Amino acid sequence: MGKSIENPRYNVISMRVSDDERQELESLVAVTDKSVSDIMREAMMLFKANLQGLQLNSRAA
């Protein structure tokens, strides 16, 4: 029987990147010892937090 995963990820999203962007990702993988998927998940969370911060600032103005 297969390993039970607490938070399974079944969805796959692909994207095209330039050679330079791919090199940047590979550099981040080497420096952080994270997978490209983990780096992209973290980038998405940072983007979301930044967007929420911008929305809060625009409401306060």
As a whole number of angstroms, the distance between CA 36 and CA 56 comes to 30
Which residue in the block uniquely carries the two structure tokens 């103005």? 61
19-29 tens-digit pLDDT: 999 999 999 99
As a whole number of angstroms, the distance between CA 56 and CA 49 comes to 11
The helix-helix angle for 36-60 and 19-32 (nearest 10°) equals 100
Identity of the amino acid at 61: A
Local confidence band at 4 (pLDDT 50, 70, 90 cut-offs) = confident
Mean pLDDT (the chain) is 91
Identity of the amino acid at 39: I
Taking residues 24-48, report their average pLDDT: 97
pLDDT at res. 26: 97
pLDDT at 16 over 80: yes
